Structures are given as C-alpha cells and as structure tokens.
Amino acid sequence: MATIDYKNKILTAFDESFDSKKGVRPVYAAYADWLAGKDFSQLAQKSRDAELLFRRVGITFAVYGEEEGAERLIPFDVVPRILAANEWKRLSDGACQRVRALNMFLNDLYHGQDIIKAGVVPESILTNEMYRPEMQGVDVSGGVYAHIAGIDIVRTEADTFYVLEDNLRTPSGVSYMLEDRRMMMRLFPELFRNYPIAPVEHYPQLLLENLRAVAPRGANNPTVVLMTPGAYNSAYFEHAFLAQQMGIELVEGRDMFVKDNAVFMRTTEGPKQVDVIYRRIDDDFIDPLAFRQDSMLGVPGLISVYRNGGVALANAIGTGVADDKSTYIYVPEMIRFYLGEEPILSNVPTYKLSVADDRKYVLEHLAELVVKEVQGSGGYGMLVGPTSSKSQIEDFRLRILANPDNYIAQPTLALSTCPTLVEQGVAPRHVDLRPYVLTGKTTTVVPGALCRVAMNEGSLVVNSSQGGGTKDTWVLQC
Amino acid sequence: MLSRTADHLYWMARYIERAENMARMLDVTYRMSLVQNAAQSEAALWVPLLHISDTVEDFQATYDEVTARNVIYYIAMDERNLSSIYNCLRAARENAHAVRVAMSSEMWENINSLWLEFQQMDKLLILDSGLSEFCDWVKSRSHLFRGVTYGTMLRDDGFRFTRLGGFIERADDMARLLDVKYHLLLPSASDVGGAVDYYEWSALLRSASAYEAYLKVYRDAVMPLRVAELLVLRHDMPRSLHACMDELTNILDQLSGDAGRECKRQAGEMHSSLHYGRIEDIFRGGLHEFLESFLRHNNRLGIEIQRTYLNAPSLNEAGLDESVSTLEQYQS
C-alpha cells in the first residue's frame, strides 16, 4: 500500500503534505485517502507508462555537454504538488506585483532613470554587462519589456515564501506545466473528478493574446511568430509545442530577412511581414549586425527595425539587466518605489561579494552558504556549501577570489519537500515553484506552475540540467 | 507557409517513400534469390539493387565482394550508405523533428515511434532470417504514416508539399526500378515477347504491389509489354508513373500563390506524354530511352519545385543533380 507516511522519517524541512505533529495536511487529505487505496507497484507502473508516453511524444530536452543531439527525458513524478487557494492567491499576487515593478524598472532604466536619480538603485547598474545601451531611449510597444516572466519561488515554512530569482530573458519550462497536467489527467482521471483543480490549459491562448496586444501600431490582425535557435536547442521541444498550441509559425533566423524597415519571413507564397516575434533566442545571437557578429542564428538588421518600431520583440532586448542576481537585491525597493506597495513575497537575504564586509563573511562561512554566479543560470556555476566536499569548497574559494564581483551568496534555505515517488516508495524531496507571469495590456498568471523536484535524497538543486524532475502543480479552487 | 517548413515536409515524405521502395526492392530480390536458377550467380542477382540506388561505386569502396549478406546489410542498415533504409528513416524523422509544429501530433508520434522501434531492432536477426519481416515492417510503417497523414493532417499547403514529396520520389523510384529490371531482363527491345522467366516478371510486379492488379486487368500470362504498360501508363495503378503525374499535376494546381507557373508547365508536359502515350510507341523508341528521359524530367521538376517554393538553402538538396547521370553512365 502506498501512503504518505513519514512517521519513521526525520523531516529536514517543511513538508507540503505532512506535519510531523498533526499528520497529513488538509490540502493533501483527499489525495492521501486516494493514495492509500493504491499499491506501490500500480504507481510505479503509471510512472513507467508516463515515461513511455513522454518518449513517444518526444517531450525531450538536449543536454549541453552531451553528444550533439542527445535527447533525454526530464523525470516526471506522478505525485502532484498541491496548493490551497489562499496560498496561491498570495503567490500569484506577489509574482504579478514583482513583474509589474520590474517592467516599470526596465522602462525607467532605459528612459529617465528616475530610480537612479532617487538613489534607490546605484548608477553602477549601467556598467552591468546585461544593460544594453542600444535600448536607451527606445520606446518599446506598450512599454512592456518582460512579456513572459518565470518567477522562482521556494517555501521554507507554512507562511514563508521567498523569491529565489526572476527570469526575464527567455524563461523556459512552461511546456512541462502543460504537458504534466495533460499526463496527470490521462493517468489519473478519477482524481480530477474529485478535486477542484484550477485549469491551466488556456496558457497558450493567453500568451497569444498578450503577444498580439503588443504588436506595433497599425498592424491589424498582426502576424506573430516564435523564433527558435533550432532543433538542437535544449528547449526546442517547448518552442515547437508552444508554436503549435498558438497556431503560429515556428521560425529560425534564416527564415527571416529585413527589408524597407520591416521584417519578413520566407514563405512558399513569397515574403510575408512579421509583426511580433516571441523570441526564444538570447539577445547576443539575435542580430549579427547589432550584437555577436559570429551569430549564424540571427537576422541581420532586426534590431534596427525593432528600434524604429517596425516589429515587436518579446521579451524586449535588454531585460537581462533586471534579472541579474546583482540587481535582484533591489527588487523589494523597486516595488516600494514604483508601486508604493509593500512586497508580498520576500527576497532571500543576499550577500554581494563585491562588498568587503559581505565578502569577508561569505568566505568564512562558505560551507553553510549557496554561492551563485551573478549571471549564471540552469544551476551551472554554483556552490551548495552544505552538500559540497572540502576540495570543491576550496576550489570555489579560488574562483571567487579571482573575480569577486561575479558572485553573490545566500543562506542555504531548507526548501520545502513534497511527497515524490522514488524507488523505495513515496518519500520527501525538495521542490521549488515557477509560475509564468504574462504581461500585455495587463499582468496575469494562470493558476499553475512548473514544480521542479530534486530527485536525489537531500539534494537542493532542482534544475533539469542537473537531474531534477518535474511535477504537476495543482491549485485548488476552494 | 514557411519555405523551410515546406522543405522539411517535402523531404520527410520523400525519405519515407524512398525507404519503402528500397524495402520493396530488397524484399523482392530476396524472394527471387530463394527460387533462383542455378545458372545465375549471387552477384548477378544482387548487383541491380545497387544500380537502382546509384551506389555501386560506394559499395565497392566499402565491401570486397557482392554477396547477399553484404548487399542486404548495405541497403538496409549501413550508416555509410546515404540511401540505406537506416539513413532514409533517420532523415525522415529528423525532417519531421524540425517541423513537428506543421503536422498533426499523431503524425509526429507515428514517425517518432517508427524511429524508436527501428533503433531497437536486432540488426543481426534481420540479416539472418528476418529480412522479409523487416521489409514488411518498413512497408507497413510507411503505409501507416501515409494513412495517419491522410487521416489527420489539415488540408493546407503543408499537406500538399508532403504529398508532392511522396509522389516525386515514387515516380523516381519506380522509373529506376523498371529501367534497371528491364535492362537486365531484356538486353534489347527486340526481345520483347520472347521467352522470359515468369518469376522475374512477377517479382517485379510484386515489388510494386501490382501482381494482383495485373491479373485483374489483363487476365492473362505475365508479358513484359503489359508489365510496362501497367507500371508506366495505367492511371488506375497507384504506383505507375502516370498515377504519380496525375497526383503531381493536381497538387501543383492546388498550391497557393502564383509562383508555380514553370512547375505546372513541366509537370503538365510530363503528364500528357503519359496520358496520351501508347506502349507500342514507347517500345519502338526504346523503353530505356523513355525512362531515361522521364527520370531527367522528373529530376528537373524536383529542382524547379525546390527553387520555386522551398528556396531557403537546403542541405537535402545536395546530390540531387548527379543522380541521373550516374544511372546513365551505367546504362550507356
């Protein structure tokens, strides 16, 4: 029999489903009852079914550093993460609040820079590599910069949530939110009859509406496309999936060209003008004339058209300056500055290695802290002190000393755990949560998220590139 | 639609069709080898397969000897042979992967699972005893993919380019098959009607799924002239050249836009020579000459389609030009 039974386990962190004093939490009660009627082998079989289905559908991602074109599945866990309606309200309000402030910040930074004049954010931000001087004074359509934002949130206590980072460039993973849900409905239809689970399936339509909303003026019935670096990109499946779900063309750089201050795609019927590009390619590669000259993936001249308002890009060029880990520390102040509100979600306390006092403290406490590269992503280039060996720590110390400005450090958070199917049964594994916040005319979020889970016992690194898996996230409607 | 998308769909279909036809030829040769007369050497039986796919020289560079085992492996599995069934299926799946958005999810799942199944096959078993089973598998997966395409794909230009690729390839494969077989079986046109091996002709028919159709249409012994008529001129024979050109002219007419004038003209010209052609006239001028000219025109049409609709530079395009000339070299 499968149960959420941690009685013999010492919980090292807040568990989403279980309280060591009161037992199963109310939000998981019905699920635990259902689970009690299942054999472990039945669940394991469902898990294998899911893997087969995912492989057949080709929901794979390429892993950098492995043989070119190698395709792997992200492990999928059949036990959902369940959030109560009030928990979700707080999370979604907090994430939307953050994205509103970040969009205002970007607009301000690339125009009047009031926030620097007010002394809230230091002028040194203009020397950040992710700041794009090309964007200074450029009016982007609707004043929106981060049309799609992935906000990474972790929980440490019943009422304590932290934002770990904001992803404002080309956040990925939303296809797993959608495909995991589809899979759960296929594997366990009976659960969906009995649980009031908020739907997420309308995400692609909402995204398309938002993209159409930022089309340049004068484009009636705008043509929206999704631009991918190509079939060997790690997130290619997602690019294809989203384009298909929105019914728009999936284009590569070589499918487009610039003429007469407009962007066109090559079609079988001749050139067709493009109004909005949902680009899943980094700033650096998007236009060899503006950024990296060796980029084979971009469209020469695209940025010039963009700056003149001939085409809209989502996300905008230059959003990286706002999701940089050295900018992260100012986000609560941005919320107060632009919105006049108190932040609903907190930041993780963060030490800047460029500051002498912080550096001294961090170097003395490396074994307790998490150290990250300022511009790192995907779980690469980070040190998790408590789970690292002495030599790994010493190795990292040298890297920090060589370039302290490149690092920040945070206390190691005891990320909440969530019941997860592992070889021995159902056991607690650490999770995080990434809701996708969309901004067009307004800022909204569908009631769901990508939930990443560190499949290895005790591991705190949930990134898919580091062997993390995903779970369906249920937001209960009542 | 996006030119690159059309290009991938077109080549996806071509490669699937090519894999199917390679399997057909492999299977029929294998079956013939089971009933072959003692006078015929193993090499004489298997070499034509290499001629059909223009791989004689490459084969000789790789293998010392023409044996059944070598040729079967080379055509079915060899990664070094660009036209091997292995490479055709891989290329079909890669083209599909690049544009999975442009097809129904059933189509993608179908072609993806085809590739996964293929990778799991026991390659040695195929060589030893399972060749017919393997060829049946390739054929039936191709049928299945065609079926899921017909059954689920939106009737837009994507559907039309997919079919276009299939029929261009089928016309090419069928003309090559006929040409090589005829050439070997009938060294000169004057032999038509002479004594021929019943098995050889019926095998040729079977490789085009045309044996039963032949019996139904002619209700008579298998005769070379009629075999050619059935496979070249009969519009109701789905793998005949005429049937392929019927489809191609129709599809080209349905494509959106005004760019295709030259494609339509070329296809129309080819179509009328088959539509109004008589088998006696074709034999008088020489079937080989006829087929050679057909292959050249079909190839030119393929290039014109590529240029008109799929113009973004395509890796698949490489080698398109030279294929006909090697066949000519062999036969002149």
Q: Is residue A11 part of a domain?
A: no
If you measure CA to CA, which chain A residue comes closest to B314?
A254
Instruction: List Cβ neighbours of B137 (8 Å cut-off, separation of 6 or more).
Output: none
A216 shares a domain with A68: no
A271 shares a domain with A129: yes
Cα–Cα distance, A411 to A407 (Å, whole number): 14
Report the DSSP pairing between strands A417-422 and A425-434: antiparallel
Q: Do A251 and B257 touch (CB under 8 A)?
A: no
Report yes or no: B310 at the A interface, CB cutoff 8 Å: yes
Q: Is residue A36 part of a domain?
A: yes
The token pair that represents B162 in the structure block? 């997919």
Q: Give chain A's domain count.
A: 3
A225 shares a domain with A96: yes
Q: Is residue A449 part of a domain?
A: yes
A205 shares a domain with A193: no
Check whether A66 has a pLDDT greater than 70.
no
Tell me the pTM.
0.81
Final residue in a domain of this structure, among A393, A411, A429: A411
Q: Domain range spanning residue A306?
A: 88-165+198-339
Instruction: Give pLDDT, residue B332.
Output: 30
Per-residue pLDDT reduced to its tens digit, A38-51: 888 999 999 999 98
The stretch A404-430 carries a mean pLDDT of: 90
Final residue in a domain of this structure, among A275, A305, A339: A339
Cα–Cα distance, B24 to B32 (Å, whole number): 12
Q: Domain range spanning residue B131?
A: 3-331
Identify the bridge partners of residue A277 per DSSP, sorted by sequence position. Answer: A225, A313
A372 shares a domain with A276: no
Check whether B314 has a pLDDT greater than 70.
no
> Of A56, A230, A240, which has the smallest distance from its Cβ to B112's Cβ?
A56
Q: Do B3 and A244 touch (CB under 8 A)?
A: no
Q: Is residue A206 part of a domain?
A: yes
Per-residue pLDDT reduced to its tens digit, B219-267: 888 888 899 999 999 999 999 999 999 999 999 999 988 888 999 999 9
Final residue in a domain of this structure, among A297, A321, A339: A339
Report the DSSP pairing between strands A76-83 and A469-475: parallel
Of A352, A127, A317, which Cα lies nearest the Cα of A227?
Answer: A317
The interface pTM score, or ipTM, of the predicted complex is 0.73
A316 shares a domain with A302: yes
Check whether A28 has a pLDDT greater than 70.
yes
A123 shares a domain with A100: yes
The stretch B194-201 carries a mean pLDDT of: 63
Q: Quickly list DSSP for A373-420.
A: ETT--TTTTEEEGGGS-HHHHHHHHHHHHH-GGGEEEEE-----EEEE
Question: In the structure, what pLDDT confidence band is assigned to residue B53 with cuts at 50, 70 and 90?
Answer: confident
Query: Which segment, A3-12, A96-105, B223-232, is predicted with the most confidence on average?
Result: A96-105
Q: Do A56 and B99 touch (CB under 8 A)?
A: no
Check whether A5 has a pLDDT greater than 80.
no
Q: Give the CATH number for residue A114.
A: 3.40.50.11290
A295 shares a domain with A268: yes
Question: In the structure, what pLDDT confidence band is assigned to residue A220 with cuts at 50, 70 and 90?
Answer: confident
A224 shares a domain with A307: yes
Q: Give contacts of B309 with chain A, Cβ < 8 Å.
A: 268
Q: Between B163 and A51, whose confidence is greater?
A: B163
Check whether A474 has a pLDDT greater than 70.
yes
Question: In the structure, what pLDDT confidence band is assigned to residue A2 with cuts at 50, 70 and 90?
Answer: low
Shortest alpha-carbon distance between residue A178 and chain B (Å): 15
Cα–Cα distance, B131 to B26 (Å, whole number): 9
Q: Give contacts of A57 with chain B, Cβ < 8 Å.
A: 105, 108-109, 112
Per-residue pLDDT reduced to its tens digit, B56-100: 999 999 999 999 999 999 999 999 998 899 999 999 999 998 888
Q: Give chain B's domain count.
A: 1
Of A71, A39, A40, which Cα lies nearest the Cα of B100?
Answer: A71
Q: Give contacts of A254 with chain B, Cβ < 8 Å.
A: 4, 312-313
Instruction: Give pLDDT, residue B239.
Output: 95
Per-residue pLDDT reduced to its tens digit, A317-340: 999 999 988 899 999 999 999 999
